[in-house]
Amino acid sequence: MAEPAVPDMTHDAGVGVSIIMPCLNEAPWLATCIQNAQEALDLLRSRLALSGEIIIADNGSTDGSQQVAESLGVRVVPVTARGYGAALIGGAMAARGRYLVMGDADGSYDFTDCIDMVSRLRAGADLCMGSRFHGSIEPGAMPWKNRYIGNPILTGILNLFFKAGVSDAHCGIRALTRECFHDLRLTGRGMEFASEMIIKAALKGHRIDEVPATLRCDLRDRPPHLRPWRDGWRHLRYLLMLSPSSVFGIPAAVTAVASLGILFYATYVLLAGYSGASVVGNYWVILAGAMLGTSHVTGLLAGATQLYGMREGYRRPGPITGWLSRWVTLETMLFTGLGSILAGLAILGGVVAYWSSSSYGPMANVLPAVAGTSLIVIGVQNALGGFLLAILSGNEAEFLQAPAAPIPQVQPQGQDAQEQKLARAS
């Protein structure tokens, strides 16, 4: 988690917009970026009657970037936690403006594009993204693998999973309201911060707008901090981590349907007394049993991650969750788990009885044994999974219900209050 390096400051009614730039050794071109940001503030003042400030969120520069910024009258906020996201979070926590604009300090973005972004925020948007694909990209400003492979694929996956409806999820200039920033509770330290902001805004139902943005060739005389393959993987894994239905739910459903189909067919063959060769033999039955146990534990993981997202506040319970909350509790999961274990033991008991009556000879069909052991495994998983869900919900047995309001703290009075003050002081 990216802890801010500065305390959260109270909103200053006199500051309308805070332009925040993450900075790590950007001294040679930082003055140009600051002048561009000051031009944007002048336009905001003349067109929207909004005053502003510029914040350099310094991530440990050793080339004098801090002195360059301070010489131009810009506030420098030191952020000790390393990373692109950590710097932006630290800068935003220190910002005094009602609207927060974030842009890179390498000259690749035109901060005057934020005029339209702030206008969208004033019109009711919570987050406004820039779109380089709807704007303009200078020749050579974006590597071909980013433009035609990385960005389209990652943006497409993000829209598929989270219905964000954006065309450029990784544009380096964006704006959001102060209230939206604090509501999102962003934690991403690295480049995945860009995806995290959109994902959580979409999950929490914030209004996301998009305006064209210009991408220029950056001013750096060294390679950028961005590493396409490494940071692309970091974005992709973050998309998967915040989409439990894709990582757990869909695989659980597919394996459950496949395993139950095999087992039901094998059961039909067994009960029908079919004596010929069957396409579903013992090996398929064993595979189906393993798949069934896997699908059940994967489904429990899907529920656990969904519950975690709800408790963290970036997922909202849906109608199915509300219906399930009346029936699914720790006790019901324990009882159904116990029932599954007893049913499995009963089937295995029948297998042992049949085996003993057959003079302990080899059994031609393993379906009953697989069914019994699978029920026992599922029962144990269900009981233990119930405790896992209860722990994730804050040690509440009714884990799908809305969390209870916190117990108000009664302020001590008189002698007790004095004793507690002395205890804290000591």
Q: How many domains does the chain contain in total?
A: 2
61 and 133 Cβ atoms separated by less than 8 Å: no
What is the mean predicted confidence (pLDDT) over 232-251? 85
> In this model, does residue 173 exceed pLDDT 90?
yes
Residue 397 lies in a domain: no
pLDDT at 3: 42
Q: Are residues 134 and 122 in the same domain?
A: yes
Q: Are residues 125 and 74 in the same domain?
A: yes
Residue 400 lies in a domain: no
pLDDT at 406: 55
Residue 426 lies in a domain: no
Q: Which structural domain, as residue segments, surrounds residue 92?
A: 17-241
Residue 3 lies in a domain: no
Domain boundary among 195, 225, 241: 241
Which 3 state secondary structure label does DSSP give 404? coil
The token pair at 68 is 């360059």
Percent of residues in the chain assigned helix, strand, coil, to nearest 5: 55, 10, 35
| Rounded percentage of the chain residues whose pLDDT exceeds 70 | 88
Which 3 state secondary structure label does DSSP give 400? coil
What stretches of 163-227 show up as alpha helix (H) in DSSP?
178-184, 193-203
Calculated CA dihedral for residues 136, 141, 142, 148, nearest 10 degrees: 50
Residue 5 lies in a domain: no
How far apart CA 42 and CA 158 sit, in angstroms, is: 35
Q: Are residues 249 and 218 in the same domain?
A: no
Q: Are residues 91 and 219 in the same domain?
A: yes
Q: Are residues 251 and 326 in the same domain?
A: yes
Range with the poorest average pLDDT among 236-240, 416-420, 422-426? 422-426
Q: Are strands 208-215 and 127-137 parallel, antiparallel or unpaired?
A: parallel
pLDDT at 372: 95
Q: Are residues 251 and 167 in the same domain?
A: no
Residue 245 belongs to what H/E stretch?
A: none
How far apart CA 170 and CA 193 sit, in angstroms, is: 9
Confidence tier at 407 by pLDDT (50, 70, 90): low
6 and 96 Cβ atoms separated by less than 8 Å: no
How far apart CA 18 and CA 302 sit, in angstroms, is: 39
Q: Are residues 27 and 67 in the same domain?
A: yes
- Cβ burial, residue 367 (10 Å; 0-12/13-18/19+): buried
- Cβ burial, residue 229 (10 Å; 0-12/13-18/19+): exposed
pLDDT at 426: 44
79-121 pLDDT, tens digit each: 999 999 999 999 999 999 999 999 999 999 999 999 999 999 9
274 and 228 Cβ atoms separated by less than 8 Å: no
Residue 410 lies in a domain: no
Q: Are residues 266 and 340 in the same domain?
A: yes
How far apart CA 120 and CA 3 sit, in angstroms, is: 29
Distance set, CA 359 to CA 204, 351, 353, 382 (Å): 64, 13, 10, 36
- C-alpha closest to that of 329 among 250, 283, 385: 385
Residue 396 neighbours by CB distance under 10 Å: 17
pLDDT at 416: 54
Q: Which residue has the higher pLDDT, 143 or 59?
A: 59
The domain that contains 164 carries what CATH number? 3.90.550.10
Q: Are residues 228 and 281 in the same domain?
A: no
Domain boundary among 209, 224, 241: 241
Q: Are residues 274 and 352 in the same domain?
A: yes
Q: Are residues 31 and 118 in the same domain?
A: yes
255-304 pLDDT, tens digit each: 999 999 999 998 888 888 766 566 778 899 999 999 999 999 999 998 88
Residue 409 lies in a domain: no
Q: Cβ neighbours of residue 336 under 8 Å, at least 6 residues apart?
A: 379, 382
Question: Helices 84-94 and 193-203, interaxial angle, to 10°?
Answer: 60
Q: What's the half-sphere exposure (Cβ side, CA atoms, 13 Å) at 262?
A: 22
Residue 399 lies in a domain: no
Q: Are residues 255 and 207 in the same domain?
A: no
Which 3 state secondary structure label does DSSP give 260? helix
